[in-house]
Amino acid sequence: MDADMAAVKTGTSTIGICFDGGVVVGADHRATMGHFVANKSVQKLFKIADNLALTTAGLVGHAQSLSRTLAAEMSLFELTRGQLMTVKGAATMTANILVGRPHWVQLLIAGVDDTGGSVYSIDSAGGSIPDEYCATGSGSPYMYGVLEDQFKSGMTEKEALKVAAKALLASAQRDAASGNGMDLVVISQKAGYRTLDAAELEALLKLC
């Protein structure tokens, strides 16, 4: 059992950073099975609502199943309540799902609501912890080195994007299970949910 689980686990680097009025969320693209790079373009960052993003580290099947479940739950909530779910509400719902049926994952729920930007780290057993920034996956020790040095409360969107990109680059350079590019998303109270395109990412990485 343990050998089978180890064979299909994926290495990962995901990150969430609050800034003044929103959050930056990012993830790398590499999936591994042991020392083998199984895929170079895995999606680990999912839009689950117009104000919410989910990042996943762990088993690909569990991550994909959770992303579909959460997107459906967010849509149902919006249809029945006529409003978007808060970040805390989404994190609590996700934690409750994991308590009922543990998954081999570590998650970030990040987004914006009336209180501003929030990031929640959720473990495989349903523990939910809010913070101003968080990193998950095998590359997280390297990302935390960047975050501890460069994060500050009240950053601008541009500052947060630069720190997130630097952190993901650090994990790609030092963690063999992370890399092959990145996805970066900005969710703000003013502009909503926006994914950086290839040209924006290229310009950003030149500043790092």
Kindly state whether residue 101 falls inside one of the protein's structural domains.
yes
Active site residue ranges: 12
pLDDT in tens, 163-174: 999 999 999 887
> What 3-state DSSP class applies to 14?
strand
Structure tokens at 78: 């919006």
Of 128, 133, 136, 137, nearest to 149 by C-alpha is: 133
pLDDT over 50 at 125, yes or no: yes
pLDDT in tens, 141-159: 999 999 999 999 999 999 9
Mapped to the 3 state alphabet, what secondary structure does 123-185 carry? CCCCCEEEECEEEECCCHHHHHHHHHHHCCCCCCHHHHHHHHHHHHHHHHHHCCCCCCCEEEE
Residues in the chain: 208
CATH code, domain carrying 140: 3.60.20.10
User: Does residue 6 sit within a domain?
Assistant: no
**What is d(CA 109, CA 115) in angstroms, rounded to the nearest whole number?**
15
**Domain hosting residue 25, numbered range:** 13-206
User: What is the per-residue pLDDT for 1?
Assistant: 33
Asked if residue 26 is part of any domain, the answer here is yes
Q: How many domains does the chain have?
A: 1
26-52: pLDDT as tens digits: 998 876 766 666 666 788 999 999 999
In-domain check, residue 1: no
Whether 55 has a pLDDT exceeding 90, the answer reads yes
Residue 39: per-residue pLDDT = 66
| Residue 3 resides in a domain | no
pLDDT digits (tens, 9 = 90+) for 10-30: 568 999 999 999 999 999 887
